[in-house]
């Protein structure tokens, strides 16, 4: 489509196609336009990568690709554009390091890559760009420090860097003394320590200085505290550092407090010293409600305080009653001298009372903090309400900018690069981040722009919030102390559990599921046998709104799973099995008999069951974040929450759950179907194992020869899938495959045989043999992970997938390695696989990878039920 704008009979020199809503890829044919000096295709919806052929445009001087949806690595071939003077790639999704070939771009005047996910060390070859005017690296993942060679760029006018990845202690302030042309310097969140060099304050042309969120200390120059001496139109932001000021300068209660200082145009000193300040209140709150940017309003019986202070950036405001306050920090780029009001109002007329909470919002240029000053100690539920009412399409370019910011609660990051518009709304249409935390006296909620999303235009794209709700978690009184259970009592409990299972089997038999016919009277007795554990079909039908497709969470190998709501407000997940198939009945009985005896934080809790007519239903606790499969391979906004620490937490949770099944519970269980769809995630993204329909008791240390092979292709151990030999090491193998998927972000079961593709496990074998196993790490993580920890976990996953079960570790050994309590015992037998072993595993992979449309079961009825993902359940009767 774009190439139609370049007729072949016309010699093009300059071409600007910005803001045309092009939504395809950049044509490779651009490389043939040898005479082109300007190519501007910014502010579009272009996707894919930058074609290497663009490196053939030898006369190109200006290249604008900014504000698109481009991704991947920046190609080396762009380094061939030695005539290039202006290269703008900002606000895309580029990853990886800056290409070394860029050292040849000696004519560069402007280089802008802010708002991407670039990583690696800031290259020293930037010093070759001696004519450089603008260098903008904001909002990436570069490693510090800023190389000293850059100090030679004496023509530099604008320098911006933020969010530097730190590998150790704080860095010294870079030597910029030769940059006498500097007008704008931003070094935000760069782990800078020590004092600000004196020459900074003597740079005559410097207008804007942004050094917030570092570890800078020492004294500030006196003119900063004297309004009359502040230079006109100068901006200074040194917020959230470790400077000291005397009490006479700011009327502070201490001279050893964090300083929040920002000056705007010399009109006022709006800095506030808050961190560590003491507030004496005569009461302690156990709830807090704020209508951010709006008036007082009562919603659902909760009274939301007004928050209508019109003051703009760099301000601190406290509620009239003294219970809460907020600080807004950062400066807009506009030189408009009018007072800044950072309250945004929706233009729609909302009549719904609850909608009043999202009618207004408070926004900040960079940082917005809300404080609660005096809470009673305990656990609290915090709800943050968001609505995007501040962004509109840029009329000049027909695109909508994006707002992204991080969310910290009690100085712990709970969401990174939160995008309000991309977030799914709940049933009431609200977009809420809910978080449980412990509060001791004070609460701090911090929203801050880390450099991603759209850059600052005349409008403000910093953090925004509409309402805050903080409520204490009411804990029931502790039960009375009971003495430890005697051996006799333990025996009684064990016998009672067996009796419960026997009654259940008897019930199923009487109801006709295990032979015989049921009567209407027996149906009425179903709920009397197990009060509180057995639900009627009518109850579940009402809870799921007659199994409405809207409440459908997914599709399993034996039937669908629905979300339900009980009359007491409890949210449940309902697994519907086929009561007409023997296979469905077998899974129903097996799952109840297995999981009812198991209780562990990393196992999904079975709340009850229902067996009426031909309906077999299992009722579980509801998992807010669906399955691991959904998190890894589902919507992009869910994947963005899977940072490295969260992935390690999930892997460790699965390992602990399997350790309990294999070694710690009284009933030693082999799950036989560990895969991402059978790992559910709660609201804190803790992993919980589910689906025990294939589980089997492990009757000692002996190897079982199984005549009924059950599990999911792609995750079954070779010795089990091909010969029927079953031990707990089969679960270890499945765990290893799942771990590779979590670390790599790639779906093992989605790969299909072809000349170009290989399976994830095949790739892992090859990379391990080449010594490049770390290439498996998901590139979306950038450099924000521990190399040592990632390498250890990948090596551990390879041990778990060893073709020989005797060389696989136990799950308790796996837990110790992940927790860092022991190291991997690597031997030649665990790293170097024989040719026969690799051939066996690859043959098994080929055998166990049907096409996406295939799903089969030879043990049940002829019709097959599609699984939750591309992986396929298989049950073979031999």
Which pLDDT belongs to residue 41? 92
Which pLDDT belongs to residue 373? 83
Give the span between the Cα atoms of 602 and 741, in whole angstroms: 19
pLDDT tens digit sequence for 362-412: 988 788 889 988 888 889 999 999 887 755 444 334 455 678 888 999 988
Kindly report, as residue ranges, where domains of CATH 1.10.510.10 are found in the chain: 628-877
Which pLDDT belongs to residue 128? 95
Residues with Cβ within 8 Å of 14's Cβ and at least 6 positions away in sequence, in order, are: 36, 37, 38
Give the span between the Cα atoms of 772 and 760, in whole angstroms: 14
Most confident of 368-382, 484-498, 693-707: 368-382
Q: Which CATH code for domain 628-877?
A: 1.10.510.10
Dihedral angle computed from the Cα positions of residues 831, 835, 840 and 841, in that order, rounded to the nearest 10 degrees: 40
Residues with Cβ within 8 Å of 799's Cβ and at least 6 positions away in sequence, in order, are: 736, 807, 808, 809, 824, 826, 830
Peptide bond into 205 cis (omega under 30): no
Kindly report, as residue ranges, where domains of CATH 3.30.200.20 are found in the chain: 497-621
**Per mean pLDDT, which range of 181-195, 672-686, 707-721 is the poorest?**
707-721
Most confident of 47-56, 280-289, 513-522, 840-849: 47-56
Positions marked catalytic:
673
Which pLDDT belongs to residue 482? 55
Which pLDDT belongs to residue 620? 85
CA dist list (Å): 167 to 142, 150, 488, 623: 11, 20, 57, 36
Which pLDDT belongs to residue 526? 37
* Pair of tokens at residue 641: 């929450």
| CATH class of the domain whose range is 2-269 | alpha beta
CATH superfamily of 497-621: Phosphorylase Kinase; domain 1 (3.30.200.20)
Which pLDDT belongs to residue 178? 94
In a 3-state reduction of DSSP, which class is residue 513?
A: strand
Whether 10 has a pLDDT exceeding 60, the answer reads: no
Give the span between the Cα atoms of 778 and 149, in whole angstroms: 32
In a 3-state reduction of DSSP, which class is residue 863?
A: coil
Give the span between the Cα atoms of 193 and 218, in whole angstroms: 10
pLDDT tens digit sequence for 416-455: 888 887 777 666 667 888 899 999 888 999 998 876 654 4
Which pLDDT belongs to residue 255? 31
State the pLDDT confidence band at 637, using cuts at 50, 70 and 90.
confident
**Per mean pLDDT, which range of 597-606, 769-778, 853-862 is the poorest?**
853-862
Which is more confidently placed, 512 or 100? 100
pLDDT tens digit sequence for 107-165: 999 999 998 889 999 999 999 999 999 999 988 889 989 999 999 999 999 999 998 98
Which pLDDT belongs to residue 395? 38
Q: What is the mean pLDDT of the segment spanning 15-42?
A: 86
Range 287-472: architecture per CATH: Sandwich (2.60)
Angle, CA of 532, 674 and 535, to the nearest 5°: 15
């Amino acid at each position: 489509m774009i190439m139609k704008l370049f007729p072949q009979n016309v010699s093009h020199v300059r071409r600007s196609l910005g803001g045309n809503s092009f939504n395809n890829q950049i044509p490779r044919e651009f490389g043939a336009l040898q005479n082109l000096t300007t190519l501007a295709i910014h502010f579009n919806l272009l996707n894919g990568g930058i074609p290497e052929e663009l490196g053939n445009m030898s006369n190109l001087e200006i290249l604008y690709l900014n504000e698109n949806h481009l991704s991947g690595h920046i190609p080396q071939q762009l380094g061939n554009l030695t005539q290039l003077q202006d290269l703008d790639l900002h606000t895309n999704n580029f990853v990886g390091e800056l290409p070394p070939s860029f050292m040849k771009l000696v004519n560069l005047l402007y280089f802008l890559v802010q708002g991407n996910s670039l990583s690696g060390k800031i290259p020293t070859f930037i010093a070759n760009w001696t004519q450089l005017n603008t260098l903008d690296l904001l909002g990436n993942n570069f490693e510090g420090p800023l190389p000293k060679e850059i100090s030679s760029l004496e023509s530099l006018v604008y320098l911006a860097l933020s969010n530097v990845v730190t590998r150790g202690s704080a860095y010294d302030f870079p030597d910029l003394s030769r940059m006498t042309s500097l007008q704008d310097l931003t070094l935000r969140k760069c782990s800078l320590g020590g004092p600000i060099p004196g020459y900074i304050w003597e740079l005559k042309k410097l207008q804007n200085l942004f050094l917030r969120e570092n570890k800078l200390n020492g004294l500030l120059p006196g003119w900063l505290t004297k309004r009359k001496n502040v230079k006109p139109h100068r901006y200074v932001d040194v917020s959230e550092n470790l400077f000291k000021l005397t009490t006479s300068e700011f009327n502070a209660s201490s001279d050893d407090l964090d300083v929040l200082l920002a000056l705007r145009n010399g009109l006022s000193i709006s800095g506030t010293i808050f961190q560590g300040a003491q507030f004496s209140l005569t009461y302690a709150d156990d709830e807090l409600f704020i209508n951010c940017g709006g008036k007082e309003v009562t919603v659902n019986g909760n009274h939301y305080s007004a928050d209508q202070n019109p003051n703009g950036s760099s301000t601190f405001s406290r509620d009239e009653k003294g219970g809460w306050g907020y600080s807004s920090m950062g400066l807009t780029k506009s030189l408009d001298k009018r007072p800044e009001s950072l309250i945004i109002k929706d233009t729609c007329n909302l009549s719904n009372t609850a909608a009043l909470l999202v009618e207004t919002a408070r926004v900040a240029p960079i940082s917005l903090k809300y404080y609660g000053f005096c809470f009673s100690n305990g656990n609290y539920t915090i709800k943050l309400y968001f609505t995007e009412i501040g962004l509109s399409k840029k009329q000049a370019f027909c695109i909508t900018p994006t707002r992204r910011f991080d969310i910290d609660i009690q100085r712990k990051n709970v969401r990174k690069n939160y995008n309000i518009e991309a977030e799914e709304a709940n049933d009431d249409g609200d977009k809420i981040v809910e978080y449980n935390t412990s509060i001791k006296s004070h609460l701090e909620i911090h929203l801050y722009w880390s450099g991603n999303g759209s850059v600052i235009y005349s409008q403000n794209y910093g953090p925004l919030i509409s309402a805050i709700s903080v409520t204490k978690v009411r804990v029931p009184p502790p039960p009375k102390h009971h003495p430890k259970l005697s051996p006799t009592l333990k025996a009684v409990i064990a016998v009672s559990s067996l009796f419960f299972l026997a009654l259940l089997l008897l019930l199923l038999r009487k109801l006709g599921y295990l032979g015989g016919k049921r009567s209407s009277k027996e149906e009425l007795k179903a709920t009397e046998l197990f009060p509180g554990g057995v639900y009627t079909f009518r109850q579940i039908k009402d809870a799921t709104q007659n199994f409405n497709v809207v409440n459908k969470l997914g599709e399993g190998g034996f039937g669908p799973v629905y979300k339900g709501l009980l009359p007491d407000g409890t949210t449940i997940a309902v697994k519907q099995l086929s009561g007409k198939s023997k296979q469905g009945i077998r899974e129903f009985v097996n799952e109840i008999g297995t999981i009812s005896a198991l209780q562990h934080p990393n196992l999904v809790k079975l709340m009850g069951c229902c067996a009426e007519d031909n309906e077999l239903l299992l009722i579980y606790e509801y998992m807010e974040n669906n399955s691991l499969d959904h998190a890894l391979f589902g919507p992009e906004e869910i994947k963005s929450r899977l940072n490295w620490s969260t992935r390690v937490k999930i892997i460790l949770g699965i390992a602990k759950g399997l350790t309990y099944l294999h070694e710690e519970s009284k009933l030693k269980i082999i799950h036989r179907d560990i895969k991402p769809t059978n790992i559910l995630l709660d609201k804190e993204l803790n992993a919980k194992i589910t689906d025990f329909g294939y589980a089997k008791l492990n009757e000692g240390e002996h190897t079982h020869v199984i005549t009924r092979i059950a599990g999911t292709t792609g995750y079954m151990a070779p010795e089990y899938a091909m010969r029927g030999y079953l031990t707990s090491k089969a679960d270890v193998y499945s765990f290893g495959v799942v771990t590779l998927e979590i670390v790599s972000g790639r779906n093992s079961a989605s790969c299909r045989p072809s000349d170009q593709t290989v399976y994830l496990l095949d790739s892992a074998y090859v990379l391990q043999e080449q010594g490049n196993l770390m290439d498996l790490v998901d590139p979306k993580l950038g450099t924000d992970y521990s190399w040592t920890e990632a390498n250890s976990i990948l090596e551990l996953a390879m041990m778990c997938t060893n073709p020989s079960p005797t060389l696989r570790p136990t799950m308790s050994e796996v837990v110790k390695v992940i927790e860092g309590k022991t190291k991997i015992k690597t031997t030649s037998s665990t790293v170097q696989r024989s040719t026969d072993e690799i051939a066996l595993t690859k043959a098994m992979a080929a055998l166990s990878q049907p096409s996406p449309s295939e799903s089969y079961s030879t043990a049940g009825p002829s019709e097959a039920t599609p699984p939750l993902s591309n992986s396929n359940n298989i049950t073979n009767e031999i």
